[in-house]
Amino acid sequence: MPRRRQHVPWTAAGSASEAEHSADDVVRGTGWVFNNRTGDQLSLAKFVATGDHETIAYLYAFGLLHDEATETMVEVGSGIGRMTASFTRMFNRVVACDLDAAFLERCRETVAQFGRADRLQTSQVVDGRTLGLPDDSADVVFSYITLQHCHRDDALALAREAVRVTRPGGHIALNFRTWVLQDLVLWPAGKLVRASWRIPRIGKVIAQRRLPARLGWQANRLSPRDVLAVVGESLEAISIFRGPKRRGFGEPGTTDRTFVGVHRSHWWLVAAIN
């Protein structure tokens, strides 16, 4: 399969993270890749703390927070483990999946420092669309700020994969991005940036620059209807979570839910596997 343009900024950021001396340096140098923050005052500890808050907030809102660490979670798009460390404290086994092998290496270091390394397994998503995991092997598949960065077909393929690896009665919680007014400007600008990544030599340099990378790496917009057309038949108890400032999607067969932590341009598919 040909390498997708959408892989360029992630492998560039992965290589940049590999070149840093310490995990704190990685956060200072490439932290913006994950939570838009950067700067000398940052540390891996502070970075992971942002993930700790978000994991609990989202799992609680979605009704997926359990007291006993007995379940297996698959995280699609773990990056360097901002949220993964927290997941390993909550789940018996966590499989962190990411496109980039260098991020997964850093993820293992992050979890060793702040989580439970004995509960972690990593799995590279080599083609950007297939999870190298058995059917029915997870209780929960979770993905945050990742599926918007994939080619549209890959995002839908990964949604299918999430359903495949989750056991019947298990849950998926997948975050997507949809259209907002600012996309009138952002979308064409992003297309230009993605085209620039094809330019030999210069493309890689552009991919490592914060502003163009942030414009270019949002590679799709998907609605609940788009995603449910692909995986809806395998799901039950389907909730669509949106931010309170956004109108409901009005998707038949789903429950419209709001959660204050959801960005206006984001929505979550939270459902059980039938």
Ligand X SMILES: C[S@@+](CC[C@H](N)C(=O)[O-])C[C@H]1O[C@@H](n2cnc3c(N)ncnc32)[C@H](O)[C@@H]1O
Give whichever of 116 and 149 is closer to ligand X, judged by the CB atom.
149
Tell how far CA 57 is from the center of its chain.
Answer: 16
Give whichever of 36 and 233 is closer to ligand X, judged by the CB atom.
36
Give min distance, CB of 193 to ligand X, in A: 16
Residue among 270, 222, 262, 220 nearest 244 (CA): 262
Give whichever of 94 and 99 is closer to ligand X, judged by the CB atom.
99
Give whichever of 3 and 225 is closer to ligand X, judged by the CB atom.
3
Rounded distance between C-alpha atoms, residue 29 and residue 25, angstroms: 6
Rounded distance between C-alpha atoms, residue 176 and residue 167, angstroms: 22
Q: Is 249 left (phi over 0), alpha (psi -120 to 50) or beta?
A: alpha
Residues that bind ligand X (CB under 6 A): 10, 34, 76-79, 82-83, 98-100, 103, 125, 128, 144-146, 149-150, 154
Q: Are 75 and 142 in contact (CB under 8 A)?
A: yes
Amino acid at 114: F
Give min distance, CB of 184 to ligand X, in A: 23
Give whichever of 47 and 242 is closer to ligand X, judged by the CB atom.
47
Strand boundaries in the chain, DSSP class E: 72-76, 93-98, 120-124, 138-143, 166-177, 235-242, 255-258, 266-273
Rounded distance between C-alpha atoms, residue 177 and residue 265, angstroms: 6
Give whichever of 126 and 237 is closer to ligand X, judged by the CB atom.
126
Give min distance, CB of 197 to ligand X, in A: 14
Give min distance, CB of 79 to ligand X, in A: 3
Give min distance, CB of 82 to ligand X, in A: 4
Give min distance, CB of 247 to ligand X, in A: 26
Report residue 164: phi and psi, to 5°.
-60, -45
